[in-house]
């Protein structure tokens, strides 16, 4: 995660000095919002993938969280993200904008002021190099994903991730790679940091936007799959439908597209990466590197 500088409210601060006070309200109450974005090396230089969509979600997250007026426009955040990548001399990287609140303790957000930081660093495969081909073993978590009126899942609010941390740590300590959480009705929701897809008879299924984050990679996968003439259906899915699917994969900015070979000790088909998953992975890798027809809409070149 080490880099040269971090953008903090309009200034580049050396990595080791990019600190906040221990009484920062966001540290205590989780009231902050963040984004996860990736930049990739392409033949025309470094480009940030779906930057506008990520910044729009960042601003929506703040709006949903009731954080009144943001101190920066989308254009200012856009420039700041690009400069952060340039200032750190990064060719491909992960970019983490964070909005956090400063002000007095006591849960009254109206007394707080929003501040924004943007960090960028080189981040390899989120679930490991091996997972890309071999796939991962998922645990259906005993923790339930947020009810939509407990935590608003369309907002990428820091505090929402306590639920993810419970699920992920339990899964990893139990020997699995990642957790998939069910919604309060018992239908499949999403993983601790990824959305999920099933493939059956060349049709892709994914949970509707109920108790899940509106993933930008999820949207890419749907567009790329339709472009390859696969049917894509958003529908409630049960855990047994996952067990019995031809293929399962998960996707997110950090993880990209990763096959699932096993869920709760049940192999998915023969436990090998499925052909549809492989094609989606390839299309996604092409898209992020400027080699797909959709790339031109999705890439912001930093120079
Ligand atoms: N669901 C959750 C709960 C989630 O956190 C992510 C992103 C997604 C779905 C996929 O969304 P998108 O990136 O827009 O396709 N998870 C971030 C992981 C953050 C981390 O610090 O770990 C990410 O992929 O950046």
Report the percentage of the chain scoring pLDDT > 90: 99
SS3 at position 181:
strand
Q: Which atom of ligand 1 is the closest one to the Cα of 36?
A: 25
SS3 at position 9:
coil
Backbone CA torsion sign across 155, 26, 35, 278: negative
Inter-axis angle of helices 74-87 and 51-64, to 10 degrees?
130
Cα 35 to averaged position of ligand 1 atoms, centre (Å): 8
Cα 278 to averaged position of ligand 1 atoms, centre (Å): 21
179-192 average pLDDT score: 98
Q: Which atom of ligand 1 is the closest one to the Cα of 156?
A: 5
Task: Tell me: pLDDT of 221 over 90.
Answer: yes
Ligand 1 pocket, Cβ-based, cut-off 6 angstroms: 36, 164, 190, 193-195, 213, 215-218, 252-255
4-9 average pLDDT score: 98
Task: Tell me which of 2, 156, 168, 291 is the catalytic residue.
Answer: 156
SS3 at position 192:
coil
Q: Given pLDDT bands bounded at 50, 70 and 90, which one contains residue 68? A: confident
pLDDT tens per residue, range 10-45: 999 999 999 999 999 999 999 999 999 999 999 999
Nearest CA to ligand 1 atom 16: 193
Q: Which atom of ligand 1 is the closest one to the Cα of 254?
A: 24
64-83 average pLDDT score: 95
Nearest CA to ligand 1 atom 9: 194
Q: Which residues of 243-265 are buried (b: 16+ CB within 10 A; e: fewer)?
A: bebbbbbbbbbbbbbbbbbbbee
Report the percentage of the chain scoring pLDDT > 70: 100
Residues contacting 250, CB < 8 A, separation 6+: 136, 138, 178, 180, 191, 194, 195, 196, 197, 257, 258, 260
pLDDT tens per residue, range 91-130: 999 999 999 999 999 999 999 999 999 999 999 999 999 9
Cα 213 to averaged position of ligand 1 atoms, centre (Å): 8
Task: Tell me: pLDDT of 69 over 90.
Answer: no
Q: Is 156 a catalytic residue?
A: yes
Task: Tell me: pLDDT of 244 over 90.
Answer: yes
Tell me which residue has tokens 């108790």.
211
pLDDT tens per residue, range 255-301: 999 999 999 999 999 999 999 999 999 999 999 999 999 999 999 99
Nearest CA to ligand 1 atom 8: 194
Radius of gyration of the chain (CA): 19
Q: Are 163 and 184 in contact (CB under 8 A)?
A: no
Cα 280 to averaged position of ligand 1 atoms, centre (Å): 18
Q: Which atom of ligand 1 is the closest one to the Cα of 126?
A: 22
Nearest CA to ligand 1 atom 3: 193
Cα 255 to averaged position of ligand 1 atoms, centre (Å): 8
């Amino acid at each position: 995660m080490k880099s040269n500088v971090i953008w903090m409210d309009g200034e580049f601060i050396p990595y080791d000095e990019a600190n906040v006070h221990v009484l920062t309200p966001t540290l205590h109450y989780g009231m902050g919002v963040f984004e996860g974005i990736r930049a990739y090396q392409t033949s025309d230089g470094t480009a940030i993938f779906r930057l506008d969509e990520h910044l729009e979600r960042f601003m929506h997250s703040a709006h949903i969280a009731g954080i009144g007026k943001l101190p920066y426009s989308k254009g200012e955040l856009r420039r700041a993200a690009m400069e952060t990548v340039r200032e750190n001399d990064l060719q491909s990287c992960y970019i983490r904008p964070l909005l956090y609140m400063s002000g007095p303790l006591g849960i009254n957000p109206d007394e707080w002021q929003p501040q924004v930081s943007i960090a960028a660093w080189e981040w390899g495969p989120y679930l490991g190099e091996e997972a890309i081909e071999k796939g991962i073993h998922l645990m259906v978590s005993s923790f339930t994903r947020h009810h939509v009126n407990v935590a608003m899942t369309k907002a990428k609010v820091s505090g929402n991730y306590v639920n993810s941390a419970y699920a992920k740590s339990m899964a990893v300590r139990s020997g699995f790679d990642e957790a998939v959480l069910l919604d309060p009705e018992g239908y499949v929701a999403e993983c601790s940091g990824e959305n999920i897809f099933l493939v059956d008879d060349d049709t892709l299924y994914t949970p509707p936007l109920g108790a899940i984050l509106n993933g930008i990679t999820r949207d890419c996968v749907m567009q790329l799959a339709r472009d390859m003439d696969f049917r894509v259906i958003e529908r409630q899915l049960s855990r047994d439908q996952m067990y019995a699917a031809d293929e399962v994969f998960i996707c997110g900015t950090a993880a990209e597209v990763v096959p699932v070979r096993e869920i709760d000790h049940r192999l998915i088909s023969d436990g090998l990466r499925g052909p549809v998953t492989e094609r989606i992975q390839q299309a996604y890798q092409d898209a992020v590197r400027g080699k797909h027809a959709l790339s031109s809409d999705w890439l912001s070149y930093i120079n």
